[in-house]
């Protein structure tokens, strides 16, 4: 083999190894965990809107969590986003669901979004899958952002069922 080919393979091997090493991974703000899911539960401290909340992560800084795969209407005007139809209801529903509760977080491929929020699939201690519950009851719509697609088909199915059964924002009598 030529020297160039050998150098090329060494560089490629080095790059692959650095991507797979713990120092090559972007750590979640949630206690720096490298596992796919967090087995412990975190206390919810504040609901921002129908798809975002704050949780106590055991440090002196809380973690802002954005639910993967769902998009709830905005609850209020903020920045360049306007309050959306059924936004207050979506926030109220998530608040009721998470009020005085603890949650477990599971991650997909990307753990942090462009705004620094932790991206997660969220479960209550009783096993309720929060992301799916919002979709099933019509408080959010599907928002798939690759590569975080583990439940995309499931969420589409739940959204379609909510729409067919006129639940939540799909209910014409909400006007």
At 13-65, the pLDDT tens digits run 444 443 433 333 334 445 444 445 556 899 999 999 999 999 998 777 899 99
Domain ranges within the chain, ordered by starting residue: 29-170
Q: Determine the pLDDT at residue 43.
A: 95
Chain centre distance of CA 141: 13
- For the question of whether the overall pTM of this predicted structure is more than 0.85, the answer is no
**Residues labelled catalytic:** 66, 74, 117
pLDDT value, residue 170: 80
Q: In this predicted structure, what is the pLDDT of residue 174? A: 61
| Pairwise CA distance, residues 80 & 6, whole Å | 52
Residue 175 has pLDDT above 50, yes or no: yes
Give the Cα separation of 67 and 73 in Å (integer).
13
Encoded tokens for 157: 């199915």
Q: Which residues contact 130 (CB under 8 A, 6 or more apart)?
A: 67, 94, 97, 98, 103, 121, 122, 123, 124
- What pLDDT score was predicted for residue 14? 41
Class of residue 126 by CB neighbours under 10 A (exposed 0-12, middle 13-18, buried 19+): exposed
pLDDT band with cut points at 50, 70 and 90 for residue 171: confident
pLDDT score at 3: 54
pLDDT, tens only, 113-170: 999 999 999 999 999 999 999 999 999 999 999 999 999 999 999 999 999 999 988 8
Residue 84 is given by DSSP the state: P
As a whole number of angstroms, the distance between CA 30 and CA 142 comes to 25
Question: Where does 29-170 sit in CATH, by number?
Answer: 2.40.50.90
């Amino acid at each position: 083999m030529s020297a160039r080919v050998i150098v090329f393979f060494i560089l490629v091997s080095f790059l692959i190894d650095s991507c797979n090493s713990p120092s090559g991974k972007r750590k979640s703000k949630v206690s720096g965990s490298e596992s796919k899911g967090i087995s412990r539960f975190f206390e919810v401290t504040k609901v921002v809107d129908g798809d975002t909340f704050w949780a106590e992560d055991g440090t002196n800084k809380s973690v802002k969590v954005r639910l993967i795969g769902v998009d709830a209407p905005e609850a209020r005007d903020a920045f360049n986003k306007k309050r959306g139809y059924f936004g207050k209801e979506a926030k109220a529903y998530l608040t009721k669901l998470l009020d005085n509760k603890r949650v477990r977080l599971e991650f997909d491929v990307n753990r942090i979004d462009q705004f620094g929020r932790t991206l997660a699939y969220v479960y209550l201690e009783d096993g309720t899958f929060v992301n799916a519950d919002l979709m099933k009851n019509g408080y959010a719509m599907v928002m798939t952002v690759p590569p975080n697609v583990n439940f995309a088909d499931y969420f589409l199915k739940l959204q379609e069922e909510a729409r067919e059964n006129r639940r939540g924002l799909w209910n014409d009598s909400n006007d």
